Chains A and B, each alone.
Chain A
Amino acid sequence: MADETPKPEELIQIDHRPPKTDWMDVPVDIRKGMYCYASNPKSVEYLGLPNARQWNPLDEDWQLPENWQEIIHEGFKERLEKFRSFRVFMDICVRCGACADKCHYFIGTGDPKNMPVLRAELLRSVYRNDFTRMGKILGKINGARPMSLDVLKEWWYYLFQCSECRRCSVFCPYGIDTAEITIMGRELLNLLGLNIDWIATPVANCYRTGNHLGIQPHAFKDMLDFFVEDIEEITGVQVDCNINKKGADILFITPSGDVFADPGTYTAMGYLMLFHYLKEKYGLDVTWSTYGSEGGNFGFFTSHETMKRLNSKMYAEAKRLGVKWILGGECGHMWRVINQYMDTMNGPTDFLEEPVSPITGTKFENARSNRMVHIAEFVADLIKHGKLELDPSRNDHLKVTFHDSCNPSRGMGIFDEPRYVIESVCNHFYEMPANTIRENTFCCGSGAGLNAGENMELRLTGGLPRANAVKHVHEKHGVNMLACICAIDRAALPPLMEYWVPEVDVTGLHEMVANALIMPGENERSTDLRGEDIPGREVVEEESDIESEEQADEK
C-alpha cells in the first residue's frame, strides 16, 4: 500500500475546477487506490444475499443477473414507496450548489462527482428517466439518462466514495442528505451482489460470531484476559471482567475493533478499569457479551434489512442476560444506528428498565425508550457528581484536540459530554477551528465501511480536511494527541496522521479517563496504559524499562 500511495506533496495538488466536458460524457475510471475489493462470495452467501459470485470491479463483465436492469428499476420504485426521504430528496434539489464543496472527498480529490449534489444526480438522472415525464421528454439536457452498465459502474464507484457522513445535509437549504441517497444506492447495488468485501465479510462474521472480526467467544475472552494482565502490570490492580454474566446490572457493548487493534485496545483497557472501579466503589455489576461483542454495524452500509439483522443481537442478549439496561461504548456509526434506528427496528424494550445511574441516581431521560446510554453521557454524569477520583496531571504530557466523529455529531448530537470528560481528565485541551468541528466536523475519510487497505489513497485524500485542521492546532498549540469517540476513527486516523501530521497520535476518550483514574489500591503509576513513561514520573530502576519492552513486544 505505502509504496504506491503518492507523496503528500503530490496529493495536495488538487484541482477543484470541473472539466469542460459534460459530466454525463465523462466515463467512469475505476482507479486503483480509490476503490475497495469486491465482496467475497462466501460472505454474501452466508447471509443469503443475492448474486454471490467471484467478481472483480476492473473486469468488463460484472456477472450480473440477466434482468439486472429490471431489478434496479423495481428496487428503485420500491424504495421510493417505502422512504419519503428518498422520494422527496429525488424531487426537490434545486442544484444551488451549497453542498458542493462541503464533502471531504470532493475537497480531497477535486473529482466533481464527489460533490454531494452530483453524487445524488448519479441516481437522480436515472430517476428522472424512469419515473418522471419531464425527464423522459427532455432527456439529457434535463439531466436524465437511462440505466446502463456504465452508469451502474459509476454508481458503484462513487457510492463507495461516500462515507455517509451527512456533512452535506447540514448545509442544504432543504436538508437533502446525500448519505441517505447513498444508503439507498448501496441497497440497490446489493440487490445485484455489488458490495465491497470490507463490508460484506465483517457483516457475515458479525452474523456468525457476534463481531465483525470473526473473533470466536473463547478468543474474545482471551483478549480481555490479556488486557487484565496488562492492567495489573501497569497499575498493580487485578480487575475483574464479567463476560456473558446473567443478572448483571448493565450490559456493555462496544465495537470489537477496540478489543483487537491499537490504539483502540487502550480504550478497551480503560473500560475494564472503569468498570472495576465502579464495582469496587459502588458495587455496579457490568458484563460484556460474546454474542453481542460488536457495537458497530456494517449491515448499516449494506441495507436496512441487514442492519436490523445484526442489530437484533443487542436487545436479544440484554433480554437473555436479564440486565436492567445497556451501556454503549465509543463508536461512530454504531451510535447512529442505536440513536435513530434501533428502537424503531427492534423495539419496544419492555423487558429492560428505564436507565438510571445507580451511582448518581441520574435518570437518563433521553434514553428512556430505547434504554441504551452512551458511555460519555454515563461518565460525564459520574464526573459531574464527583464519583470518580481523577488525577488529570497524569495526562499533562498530552496536548489534546477532539475529533467529532460524523455519526455521533450529525446523527445524535453528542458534543459537550465528551468535551466535559476530556476537560476533566486532562489539562491541555484545544479546539480545532469552528468550521471543522461539532456539526461541521470532517470525516476521518474512512467511514461507512471504507477503511480498507487497498483504497488508501481515497482515505488519505478524504481525510485531508480533518488532517489539515489537526495540523493547524498542532502548529499553533503544539497539539500531540487527537482524541475521538469512535473505534473506526482509532483504526483510520493513525495512518492519516502518520501521513499528514506525523507528530500527532490518536487516543480514545476512555484511555485518557483510565490514565487519570485513581484506582483503589493501585501502585504509583510510572507509565500510561501504552506502557510509555509519564514524563516526570519515570521510575529510574531498570524494571520499568523491561516492562515497557514487554509491552512493546506484545503489540
Chain B
Amino acid sequence: MNLRYIVPLIAVILLFLISYLGAQVSGLQYLLGVVVPYLAIITFVLGFAYRVINWSRSPVPFSIPTTGGQQKSLPWIQHSKFDSPANGWQIVVRMALEIFTFRSLFRNTRMKLTQGGRLSYQLEIFLWVGALAFHYAFLVVLIRHLRFFTEPVPFFVQLVENVDSFFRVEIIYPAFKFGVPGVYLSGFVLLAAVSYLFFRRLFVRQVKYISIASDYFPLFLIFGIALSGILMRYFAKIDVTAAKELTLGLITFRPNIPEGVSAIFFVHVFLVSIFIAYFPFSKLMHLGGVFLSPTRNMPTDTRARRHVNPWNYPVPVHTYDEYEDEFREKMVEVGLPVEKMPEPAAAKTPASEPEQAEEKE
C-alpha cells in the first residue's frame, strides 16, 4: 500500500462527500457556495502574490542560461536564436515556445539498453502529448467558464465554445443529445489526460519512485472537478440559469443562493475552491515559476554585456605581489621577468604552504 497516493485519494473522496452532504443542509449552502469560494479566491490572490514576490526578492546574481544551441559569435556562423537567445525578443520567443508548446518536454527521449550493451535514446512523445492535452483542455475549460461570470458573454468565449463543440456531430454521441446544447470535447480530454498522467505515475516505475502526495493530490482533485462537471452537464442536468445566477452574484459582490441549485453543483464549486486555495502552496506554482527560471529567461550574451550581481562582494585573493614574493628567487634563476629584483640576503619563507601537488588533473 502506497500512502503517497492513498492519502490524497481519501482526502479528495472526503472533500467530495463533505460537500455533497453539506449541500443538503440549507444553512451550509451559503457556506459552500459563497463563503468558501470567496476565501479561496482571497487565498489564491494573496498566496500567489506572496510566492511571486518571494521569488523576485531573491536576486539573479549570475546570468546562467542553458545554451541549447549555437552561441552568437562570428558573423558567418549560424546563431541558434531561440535555443541560445542573445537579446530580449529572442528570449521572448524562447519563453513563448516553452510556455505554449512545451518545447523542452518535446525533446524528451527514452533511454534503452539492449542485451548487447548498446544504448539508444528514442523520441518519447507521450508525456509531451499528454501534458499538452491536459493543459490546453484545462485552458479551454477555464475560458468556457467565463460564460458564468459575464453578461453578455464575450465573443471569444463563444468562439472557444464553438470550436470546442465542433466535433460533436461527427463523433458517436447521439445518445447524449437529448436536450443537451452540445458536447464539449475539452472536458473529456481533460479527464483522459489527467487519467493518463495518473496512470503514468502509477505504472512507470521511475516516475512512481519519485512521486509524492502533492503530485497525486492535484490530479485526483482535477479528476473530481472534471467528473462533477461532466455529471452536472450531461447526466444530472442541473438548472444552469440558477447556477449562473449564483456565480454572477459572486462576481458582482451580491452573493445569494438561488432556488433549485442542485447538490452536485456545490460539490463542483467546493472542489474548485479547494484547488484554487491549494494552488499557491503547491507545485502548481510552476505556472508562475516557469517565467522566472534563470536557465530559460536570461540572455546568452554574457560576454558581450556585463550582468550585475547586486551582492557581489570583495573576496580574499592571492595577489601577484604575494606570489612573486614567494617565488622571486626561483623566477629570477630561470630568467622570468619580475617586478622587483631580489635583495641579496632577504630570503623569505611563506607562513604556510599547502601540500605539494601530487599529479593532479
User: Within the assembled complex, what's the spacing in Å between the Cα atoms of A4 and B110?
Assistant: 32
Query: What are 6 A-B contacts with C-beta separation under 8 Å?
Result: A91-B289, A260-B359, A309-B315, A364-B73, A369-B304, A410-B67
Q: Which residues of A lie under 8 Å from residue B254 when comparing CB positions?
A: none
Inter-subunit contact A210/B323 (CB<8 Å)? yes
User: B24: CB under 8 A from chain A?
Assistant: no
Q: Which residues of A lie under 8 Å from residue B131 when comparing CB positions?
A: 96, 173
Interface residues of B in 275-332 (CB under 8 A from A): 281-283, 285-286, 289-290, 292-296, 300-309, 311-312, 315-320, 323-324, 326-327, 330-331
User: B346: CB under 8 A from chain A?
Assistant: no
Contact of A82 among B59, B71, B358 (CB under 8 A): B59
Interface residues of A in 320-349 (CB under 8 A from B): 320, 338-341, 343-345, 347-348
Inter-subunit contact A175/B127 (CB<8 Å)? no
Q: Which residues of A lie under 8 Å from residue B173 when comparing CB positions?
A: none
Inter-subunit contact B360/A202 (CB<8 Å)? yes
The residues of A with any CB-CB pair to B shorter than 8 Å are: 8, 12, 14, 16-18, 23, 40, 42-43, 45-46, 48, 80-89, 91-98, 100-102, 107, 112, 115, 117-118, 121, 132-134, 138, 141-143, 166, 169-177, 180, 198, 201-202, 204-205, 207-210, 212-218, 221-222, 243-246, 255-257, 260-261, 264, 290-291, 304-305, 308-309, 312-313, 316-317, 320, 338-341, 343-345, 347-348, 362, 364-370, 372, 377, 380-381, 384, 409-417, 420, 433, 435-436, 438-440, 451, 464-465, 468-469, 472, 487-488, 491
Inter-subunit contact B64/A177 (CB<8 Å)? yes
Inter-subunit contact B215/A340 (CB<8 Å)? no
Contact of B357 among A166, A202, A264 (CB under 8 A): A202
User: B212: CB under 8 A from chain A?
Assistant: yes
Given contacts A171-B107, A343-B306, contact A18 B206 (CB under 8 A): yes
- Smallest Cβ-Cβ distance to B63: which chain A residue: A340
- Minimum C-beta distance from A86 to chain B (A): 8
Inter-subunit contact B353/A100 (CB<8 Å)? no
User: Within the assembled complex, what's the spacing in Å between the Cα atoms of A14 and B117?
Assistant: 9
- Minimum C-beta distance from A462 to chain B (A): 13
Inter-subunit contact A222/B334 (CB<8 Å)? yes
Inter-subunit contact A174/B69 (CB<8 Å)? no
Number of interface residues of B (CB under 8 A): 110
Inter-subunit contact A85/B361 (CB<8 Å)? no
Inter-subunit contact B357/A213 (CB<8 Å)? yes
**Chain A: interface secondary structure?**
helix
What 10 A-B pairs have minimum CB-CB distances, sorted nearest first? Answer: A214-B357, A413-B67, A413-B71, A257-B361, A92-B289, A143-B212, A175-B295, A204-B354, A175-B296, A18-B209
Q: Which residues of A lie under 8 Å from residue B356 when comparing CB positions?
A: 214
Q: Which residues of B lie under 8 Å from residue A12 when comparing CB positions?
A: 113, 117
Given contacts A202-B360, A305-B315, A413-B70, contact A14 B104 (CB under 8 A): no
User: Within the assembled complex, what's the spacing in Å between the Cα atoms of A101 and B326?
Assistant: 50
Contact of A142 among B58, B213, B311 (CB under 8 A): B213
Q: Which residues of B lie under 8 Å from residue A85 when comparing CB positions?
A: 60, 64, 293-295
- Minimum C-beta distance from B189 to chain A (A): 19
Which of B74-82, B141-149, B224-232 touches A? Answer: B74-82
- Smallest Cβ-Cβ distance to A487: which chain B residue: B361
- Smallest Cβ-Cβ distance to A169: which chain B residue: B66
User: Within the assembled complex, what's the spacing in Å between the Cα atoms of A340 and B212?
Assistant: 35
Given contacts A82-B58, A208-B353, contact A97 B119 (CB under 8 A): no
- Smallest Cβ-Cβ distance to B319: which chain A residue: A316
User: B352: CB under 8 A from chain A?
Assistant: yes
